[in-house]
Each structure stands twice: as C-alpha cells, then as structure tokens.
A and B are shown apart, each in its own frame.
Chain A
Amino acid sequence: MLTNKVFIKKTKSGGVMKIVREHYLRDDISCGSPACDKDCEALDRYPLEEKPISDSKLVPVPHYIVPDTNVVLHQIDILEDPSVKNVIILQIVLDEIRHRSAPIYKRVKDMLCNSAKCFYTYCNEFNMHTYVERKPKESANDRNDRAIRKAVGWYADHLIKAGIEVVLLTNDADNRKQAVAEDLMAFTVHDYVKSLSNQSLIDRLANPLNQSSDFGGKTLFPEHLGLAEIQKGIRSGKYLQGTLLISRENYLEANVSVRDQENMVFVQGLYNLNRAVNDDNVVIEMLPEAEWSCPSSMVMREDDAKDEEDEANESMTDTETLIRNKVPKELRQPTGHVVGIIKRNWRQYCGILQPSVIMERTRHLFIPAEKRIPKIRIETRQAQTLMSKRIIVAIDSWPRNSRYPLGHFVRCLGEVGDKDTENEVLLLEHDVPHANFSEAVLSFLPKMPWTITEEEEKRRRDLRHLDICSVDPPGCTDIDDALHCRELENGNYEVGVHIADVSHFIRPGNALDQEAANRGTTVYLTDKRIDMVPDLLSSNLCSLRCDVFRFAFSVIWEMTKDADIVKTDFTKSIILSKASLTYAQAQIRIDDQNDHGNLTKSLRGLNSLAKILKKKRLDNGALSLASTEVRFHVDSETHDPIDVQTKELRETNSMVEEFMLLANVAVAEKILHEFPDNALLRRHPSPPSSNFGPVIKAAESKGFEIDVSSGKALADSLDKAVVPENPYFNIMLRIMTTRCMMQAVYFCSGMLQPSDYMHYGLAAPVYTHFTSPIRRYSDIIAHRLLAVSIGADSSYQDLLDKSKIQKVCNNLNFRHKMAQYAGRASVNLHTHLFFKKRIQDEEGYVLFVRKNALQVLIPKYGLEGTVFLNDENKKSSSIFVYNEEESTQTAGDVIFHVFDPVIVQLSIDRSNVQHMKLSLKLVKPQVPGFSVPSASESSEQQEMDTSSGTSLSSKSNADVGKPPQKKKKKR
C-alpha cells in the first residue's frame, strides 16, 4: 500500500540546499464518485453525484468538472454559483490556491464542506496513478499542468464504464492544446460557461488578462518589477516595502506605511501609484528630493475622471507636474513612487454603475462606495437593469494600458436606497462577516432537544432555588446576564451575577469556535442583529430566559451592607431565572411600595448596593461620560423608521451596569493572577492632556475650568460645570470629553507592562470583558481562562500561547471597531430614511465652531450635523468672519459661540446617490442671505416631497431590536 518516492528540491536560502523529502504514493485514494465501478476505497458519503446532470451544450453527457488553479483563482464567483456542481478540486490546485490567496482558499474550503455543491478534493499527488515527477528542465508550472492533465486522464479512464466524462477547464491555451492532444475534454471557462443554460453566469466571468490588449496599445503605466529584483532592491535598501493607504479625500494620493519605519511615505498621482490599490502590499522607491510633494488641498471631484480615457490620460501627467511645482519647499514630504506589488489585497467592492451615455454598451464603469478605490471597468450585458442597483464587483487585473482596473460583476444587492440593500452594503463595507452559518459550523451545535445530563448536573453548583432574574432592554433575546441578591443570616448580602455559559457549548478549535472567533462580536444594526453564534445558542440555549434551566458561569460575592466585598466565588452553575424583566419593568417593581415579593426584594437590594458601588467608583475617579444614542421607532410593516428618540436611562440600567463592571473587574483580577502572561484583558489608555484642548477652551468660554491632570480631577471638574439656564451644557461638555478619549482595546497581558493594563475610563487597574459571551468573543476567552483557573475546564494550547491570544485580540479590536462603525452607519442610514420624507426644524446647540462650518447637536434626535457657512455652489467669499481665538463666527451682528442655541432645518441632500447626506440649514438666528425660512413656511416644498415618497402608514409602532449599542461604548 505504500510506495515511496523521494524527490529532491533545491531552495535558496543563502546557499543552495538539497532537501530530500519522502513522498508516499498510495493506491487507496477514492475517486469520490458513487458511480465508480472500480475497487476504490468506499466512502460513507460520496461527495460527487452519481448521475450528474449536464447543463452544457458543449458536453451534453453527464460529466464532472476539473478546473485548473487559475480558473479557481479567477472564476471563483462562477464556481460559487449554486448551479455549478460536481467539481473535482485536485489537491495540487488546492495547494496552489492556499499559497496564492487565503480568502479564495477559504471560499473553496467552504464549498468543499457544503454537501449541496458536490465538490470533492482528489489527492492526486498521493496517488500512484496520478503522480508525475518533474522532468529535468521542466518548470514547476508545466509540471503542475501535466499533473492536472494526468489526473483528468486517470479520471476519464476510471469512470469510462460509469458513463461519466471528465471535463478540464483551463484558460491556458497551451495546456488546453496538450490536453486535447491527449484525448481529454478541455475547454476554456468562457466557452463552457457560455454553453450553460444559466446565461446570467456570463457576466460574472472574470476578464481574462489577454483580452485587455484591445484597449489600444498605449501603455500608461511602467511595468512592475519582478520578485527577484524586488527582493534584491529591498535588501540593498533601494526599495521600501509597505502597505498602501489611499487618502480618503483624494484617491490619487496615498501614504505608504513602510515596515520598520515610523514616517509615512507620500505617493501622489496615478502614474506614481502605478496601479496599486488601497491596502495592497507595495514596493516603493523614493523620488529625488526635488520631486517631493505634499498632499494637495484640492478635493477630487467626481466629474474629474472622465469616461473618455484618452483625454484623462493625457492630462494626467500634466496636472501632476503643475501641482508639484507649486509646492513650497517647507511643506514637502518624503515622496516615492510604486515600483512593484508584493501582494494584492483586493476584495469585492460594493458600488453602483456609472451612468453611461450608451446603455447598450457592454463595457461600463463601476463606482465603488469606498472612495479610496478607483473606478473599475466591468463588462455586463445587463447594464440597464443594474443601473439603479447596488452591485458587487471584483477586480481581476489592472493591465498597463488601462486607466482603470478590470473587474467582473459578482452579484446584485438590490435597489439603491432600499433598506435591506443598504444594510448589506454597510455590512460588506465594514467587513462584517454576515453570511449564514455554514454546515460545518452548525454541525457543532448541540442536538435538540437539549437536556441537562446527570454528569453536568453533578459538576455544577445548583442555584435553581435562587430568585434570579434578568434585566435587559425590551425585545432582547440574547440574554447573557442575570442577577440575584439575598440577605444572609449574618446580615451581609449575597450577590450573584450569572453569565450565560457559552464556553460550554463552544469548544475550542472547532468550526463553530473559529467562526465565532472570526466574527468576534455580534453586530447590532438599528433593525437587524448579526449574530456571532448561531441563533440556537444566542437566543435559546445560552440565553438566560426565564423559567428554563440554563447553564451559567456565576460570580458570587458576599458583601456587607456598605458594599464591601467579603468573599468572591466563581463557579459553573445551573440556574433558573424567575423573570426576564425590562429596565422599565424592573424600575416599576423597585418603585412599587406594595410589592414585597422575593424578586422585588432582591432587586431592591441590588439597587441599593449598586448605588453605593457607583458612588465608590466615581469617587475613585471613574468618568461618567455622555454619548448620544438614539433609537428608532419603526413602522411594523414597511420597517421604515417613523420616529427617532434618544435613549432613556433609568436607575436599573445603572444597576445592571454596576454589577457587570464589578464582575468584569473580579474576573480580570482572577485570570490575571492565574495567567499573568496570557490573560485577555481590556485596557483604556489615559489620553494625553493635549487631547483635551477643545474641551478646556469650550468650558473656558463659559467660565469653567476643566482639570485634566487625572481622571478624578476631570470627573470632578465636569461635575461642577453646570449652567442653570442651559441644562444641556453639561451633557455637551461630556460629549466633547468623550471625543477626546482613546479607544479602549483588548490585549494579552503578557504583551504589555502591568502599568499599561489600566482602564482609564473606569479607573480600574485591570479590566476584562466577561459578562456578554453571547455577543463578544473576548468574553468567551475570559470564560475559558476563568474556567481553567477554577479547575472547571481544561486549557488548550492556543489559550496558553500569548502571541495567539494577542492575535485574537487584534482581530477582536478590529471587529469591534468595525461593528461600531457599522452600527453608526446604520443609525445614519436610518436617519436618512427618516428624513427622506420630511423637512423639519429642530432646536440645537452649537457644539463646535469651525473655520467654515458650525457643528450642531440636536438633542431630540441625538444627531450631530454640520451647517456649512460658505455656500458651495456660489463659491463666493463667505459673509462670515471666523475668530480663531475665541472660536466664534460673526455675520453682521449675529455671533455664534460654542453652546449657543440655534434652530436648524433638517433635510436630505441627494446630490450624491451613493453618499446621501443629512443637510442642516440655519433657521434661527436669522442671517440675511444665508438662513432659510422655517419649514412650516415652506410647506409647499414639504408636500411635494411627501407625495413623491410612499405615504406614511400610521400603524402601531413596533420597537424592534436592540439599540445600536446595548451598553455604553466606553465600558
């Protein structure tokens, strides 16, 4: 069964080395087809279909498809289509994909796992019949092609009796010719796809490289350097390697963060960028100092890039030189130009088609929603139908003679402006994994009906007799915390925080765990929740709903009446929540004098303790900051928002929060003690005092002094800054302070000095996240660490590896940031939808005074908007005079200070379809020639707007979903 081949490899690492590795060839590898009549190894489940139905006119008989590497790499979108089935991915192809593109490798693996796709990996390299040895002077690629042909030939022979053909798909003309010469069926993907009945697939074909030659022979870009040359250049220091970050303002300008170097290198102009796209790993060469440049203040306008390429091309170089000459010497930054690209980081991009004069043309330009991505040229026959749609496009290549990268259409998301479509867009643009959970992931879910085994019951502390309840926002289905409190005989209180035991269900390392680790967090959009773990866990088995037995991880304290902790205990437990309350319900119970139930007593105990705890915490220097959070009242049928409201805070919110903080701190201390090197913690660095400049200045204008020397001082001085006539002043000050803060991040304790563990906002020396394992992966890790430290669970290798933990942290930080952005974007989206049909006047306060604008906060909606003071259209000099010292804007006799109340008119600016903006116009105080009449006066306009949209239905308002962030983001 084992035959042996030893092959010899030469690698270069300083010198030439001969590597001899064994390679066993076997004869027991199954072909994976149930139709096989040879003595293949029998499988439990055959991935391929016994009678594949042929859909192709080219091959009208049953057949399996074997794509070569480049086909898989470039045409993955085709392969992913549900109508493409019965594909054999050769091992050699899979290996090559793994080396060349991690994302595509993952997609292929997903397909291989999906039984409906009927994909099979055939290990041709290990089979004695299909292994080929590299001939002398044969290139690795030629050998691989030969191996693929050999495997196809073997398959064809193997299945000849079963009546199944095997078709090789390759776009390599040479390979195809040789395959045909060997009597194999071989086609290009394009021919094959065109022969399918599903014509919509054609659009998704990626442009083959050679097709670009018919763009006219003019080369616009210098050639990229070869890898060998790049390596030599980097070693000698001639070239620098780094990641390209295109400026958000101008897609023709970019910075390169060079490896091991602090300063960014500036790259300007299409020619210098040399076809590099945002995020690519590029190699740059520095320009001589005389050619150094600086970012131009000019904002790229959409209409700059004309469709007529030639014109743009010619002007391209000219304008560049112009700009450069104007740059004064002192402003010049180190500037370079891209000479090569090490790794492309192309992904799929959302956007819309650029309207074209001739709709019938198949060639179109695509405008990505992300401003940093250049337009992409695609070919489609369905331009007309796609015109007003959000679509996804992938880049295939960027040849030297094309101004734009070439791409292909992947799929259509839906109508522009449609809520689902826009949601999808914002998820995609924020890189939020939101696909349905794959079969592999779901296979690790517990089987229903789920019961508690006796063994588990023995291992856990039984807390089912306690009066435990959960307090959450209304409509919450993923309840991950519950509380209880009871008086002990010695007069102390026993307080318990019970957290859903998610780590019991998600075992380390399996597909479910990997998926959760990748997602990192549940993402809350205004009307939608993107779960981190499948619904069965998040809303059922892990959710601590009332009246069912649930596994929990409990932190139980014994406290004195003054909330001094006597004892802390961690245990895995079984609980039975007596009630799932909302904040309001809990509040009512506490306030109801006549209610003397156990549960209510428990709540009152908690509440009183929480107050003491909060006071202690604040005395300790914890900050109480403000941010504006809104919630939408959504129409139950159209799911359009019909009212906006800022979130209301009750005592009970703070009560729950207090205990969660307490639990988090307790757990953080415990796991740090047990795992000084690999505990997952959360830190919040103290901001440099220079950050506070704007706040101090703003407070000064009202005569208050803000002391930022310490967290405690800051909290105190914020408390003092109250203006009786302007109740919103203090809140605004706090909002401004929030903006000055640093981001709180996860980290692994072994990677930093203990002095850096500090959580500034909470004034806690160590902190972690433990209390929301259903929606945060960090909490799962914390659970696992805690479980190991109390001996309730076993550890595993990755948990003890600090660099692995740090890697997890980095991903979590990224996902968290993205989830926040997505959440905010979702709020924006809904705000836009809300104002789509109305123009409204609202009261607001000036939050900042800028050079050309006023930033206005509208408390009613928790919105913040900008009133531009110089009209863009007229381009005339502004009537406003800006005083930088006092930060005021003066127009005639009207002076705008920070915190001044104003009335603004809200409406939607639709000049840009992709990026709709909320526009604010000043109503009061009136500035002649600038302010607009109030909305009620211009009612005609409003009527016009409402009639164009669908009329509002006044059905009952449903309050759907959780607010964007359940807890304050500072925690």
Chain B
Amino acid sequence: MAGMELLSDQGFRMDGRKSNELRRIRFKKGVFNQADGSAYLEQGNTKVLAAVYGPHEIRGSKSKALHDRVLINCQYSMATFSTQDRKRRPRGDRKSQEMTSHLKQTFDAVVLTELYPKTQLDIYVEVLQSDGGNYCASVNAATLALMDAGIPMKDYVIACAGSFTRETPIIDINHLEESSGGAEVIMAILPRCDQIVFLEMNSRLHEDHLSAVMDHVMAGCKDIFNVLNQQVREELVRRTVQDSLVDSG
C-alpha cells in the first residue's frame, strides 16, 4: 500500500503532471562548432547531447560504403554520471548497443539516404543525465542535430514513451514511472505523415489498452513536435530576417 501511486485520484502524477502532459522541453541547436550539426535537448531531467558529422567520406574500411545510399553510423552513450548509480562504462554495454541499433534503424527510415551514396553520416548521442525516456530524448535531439546539419529528411522524427496505469494511459514517462513495473510503450513517429518508424514495448500490456496507449503516445509525439517546430521556425525566421538585412547591403 505504501508503494508509489503513479496516478492519484485527483488525476495527478507523482511530479504534478496530468496523464497527458509532457515534461518541460528545452533545446539548443548548434552547440558544437566542430560538428556539422548538433543539439542539446532537455526533456525534464533527461538531458542529451547529439552531434552529427557528415555526410563525409567513409572512414575506416571503404568496403562498408553503400553504393546507393549513405551509411548511417550511430553511437549512443551514457555519461558515467548520468544515472543514480555511477555507470561503469559509458558505451558498449548491451543496453547501449541495443539503443545504438534502434537509433540507426530510426534514422535510416527518415533521412533521405539515397541522396548521398558512398558516404557516411555519423550521429553521436550522449546522455548527460538520465531520468527516463532516454531513447525519446536521443531521437528528438538527433533530429534537431540532423536539421542543424542541413541533412535532408522526410520529416521530423519525434519519439515519446507512454505507460498505462489505473486504466489511464500516461505519456512522456520519467524514470520513476518507467521503473514502476508497468508496461512501457516507446514510439517514434513522423508527426506529419502519421507514420510509425519505431515501436517498442517492454513488459506486458493488455491488447485492449494498447491502441489507447498508442493513441496517447502519438498525441504526445505531436505535442513534442509542435514545441520543437515552433522554436526551430522562430530561429530560422530570426536568421533570415538578419540575412535579408545584410543582403540588402
């Protein structure tokens, strides 16, 4: 009984959000000069850095090159100080490798890979602080970094996680909600064409509730998209206004 109550009778989650509310999202693009594109993103207390290099000549063995499209190379790592218990190794463990391959799949689906044959695109993601939804924050940050690098993509890729408690779907779950043992549904979608590029579920969730949770997570993705898109546009507007001033000179 004294366990945690993910959703109170009054409809609030443990951190004061309602079931369909997101955590605060803040981000900054172009945080590295060296990289072609980069972004820093906070979703609540989950903080992620993403950097994109490329497309550039294949590094290492040339045989990896794909003759018809770009080779996407991802690396997901978590800083040793990102979790409550200090991590031993920042990358290369099973979880990171899995995440790496998930990211690769996700972005293979959305980058217009056929434009740059025989080249390589590196996406590096580093989780600085982890409070649940690492995959989601990583995807969102990488999307922004890709955009910063001017890599052509079909659409934004936005990821959001959700769970189900007390007959209610909750979205953008934090670490506490993630580790409470309930099901976790992670989705990455293209918000404007409503395509799902990635879907993962951990633990068991009843089939009847799956579509409800997916709908809510989808809606959450779109909310995230709106937040991101608004700021991206604002920055672009600011820049073009400046450019036009200079051009006139």
Contact = CB atoms under 8 A, between A and B. Distances in A.
Contact of B1 (A20, A26, A105, A796): A105
B208 A509 contact: no
Contacts of B194: none
Contacts of A509: 167
Interface string A167-198: 00000000000000000000000000000000
A847 to B, nearest CB: 45
B234 interface: no
B204 A797 contact: yes
B207 A794 contact: yes
A797 B166 CA distance: 11
Contacts of A17: 84
A795 B205 CA distance: 10
B226 interface: no
Given A19-B84, A797-B206, A24 B15 contact: yes
Contact of B16 (A20, A105, A125, A796): A125
A546 to B, nearest CB: 35
B45 A20 contact: yes
B91 interface: no
Given A17-B84, A105-B1, A800-B204, A2 B9 contact: no
A235 interface: no
B2 A102 contact: yes
Nearest to B166: A509
A284 interface: no
A109 B24 contact: no
Interface of A is mostly: mixed
Nearest to A125: B16
A99 B206 contact: no
B192 interface: no
A22 B1 contact: no
Contacts of B21: 2, 24
Interface string A785-797: 0000000001111
B201 to A, nearest CB: 13
Interface in A1-32: 2, 4, 6, 17, 19-26
B16 A25 contact: yes
A800 B205 CA distance: 11
Interface in A113-147: 121, 123, 125-126
B55 interface: no
Contact of A24 (B2, B10, B17, B167): B17
B16 A98 contact: no
Interface in B1-54: 1-2, 5, 8-10, 12, 14-17, 21, 23-24, 44-45
A220 interface: no
B207 A23 contact: no
B1 to A, nearest CB: 4
B9 A22 contact: no
Contact of B15 (A21, A99, A795): A21
B2 A99 contact: yes
Interface in B124-147: 131
B163 to A, nearest CB: 12
A891 interface: no
B131 A22 contact: yes
A794 B206 contact: yes
Contacts, number: 63
A162 interface: no
A794 B45 contact: no
Nearest to B164: A797
Interface string A509-537: 10000000000000000000000000000
A545 B207 CA distance: 35
Indicate the size class of the contact surface on chain B: 20 to 34
A582 interface: no
Most interface-central of A22, A98, A794 (chain B CB within 10 A): A22
A112 interface: yes
B162 to A, nearest CB: 15
A98 B5 contact: yes
A628 interface: no
A2 B24 contact: yes
A794 B205 contact: no
B236 interface: no
A23 B15 CA distance: 4
A16 to B, nearest CB: 11
B176 interface: yes
A23 B24 CA distance: 11
Contacts of B15: 21-24
B174 interface: yes
Contact of A109 (B9, B167, B174): B9
A17 B85 CA distance: 8
Nearest to B46: A22
A4 B14 CA distance: 13
A4 B5 CA distance: 21
Which of B10, B23, B205: most chain A Cβ within 10 A?
Answer: B10
Nearest to B44: A22
Nearest to A799: B206
B2 A126 contact: no
A20 B47 CA distance: 13
Contact of A123 (B12, B24, B44, B176): B12
A126 B45 contact: no
A730 interface: no
A78 B139 CA distance: 55
Contacts of A25: 16
Nearest to A120: B10
A2 B206 CA distance: 32
A539 interface: no
A6 B10 contact: no
A209 B23 CA distance: 45
Nearest to B206: A796
B84 A91 contact: no
Nearest to B203: A797
A109 B17 CA distance: 21
Interface string A753-767: 000000000000000
Interface string B205-243: 111100000000000000000000000000000000000
Interface in B95-113: none
Interface in B33-79: 44-45
A812 to B, nearest CB: 19
A120 to B, nearest CB: 10
A121 B9 contact: yes
B9 A112 contact: yes
Contact of B2 (A2, A26, A98, A123): A98
A382 B112 CA distance: 86
Contact of A121 (B2, B10, B206, B208): B10
Contacts of A23: 15-16
A22 B23 contact: yes
Contacts of A123: 8, 10, 12, 16
A866 B16 CA distance: 64
Contacts of A24: 15-17, 21, 23-24
A121 B23 CA distance: 24
Contacts of B45: 6, 20-22
A244 B99 CA distance: 51
A797 B205 contact: yes
A4 B207 contact: no
A796 B166 CA distance: 12
Nearest to B204: A797
Interface string B156-179: 000000000001000000101000
A126 B12 CA distance: 9
Q: Which of A126, A509, A795 has the most CB of B within 10 A?
A: A126
Interface string A285-316: 00000000000000000000000000000000
Given A2-B17, A125-B16, 7 more contacts: A21-B176, A91-B8, A99-B2, A102-B2, A121-B9, A123-B8, A795-B206
19 contacts: A2-B17, A2-B21, A4-B24, A17-B84, A20-B131, A21-B14, A21-B15, A21-B45, A24-B17, A25-B16, A26-B16, A112-B9, A121-B9, A123-B10, A123-B16, A126-B12, A126-B16, A794-B207, A800-B204
**What are the 4 tightest A-B residue pairs by CB atom distance, in nearest-first order?**
A126-B16, A24-B16, A102-B1, A22-B15
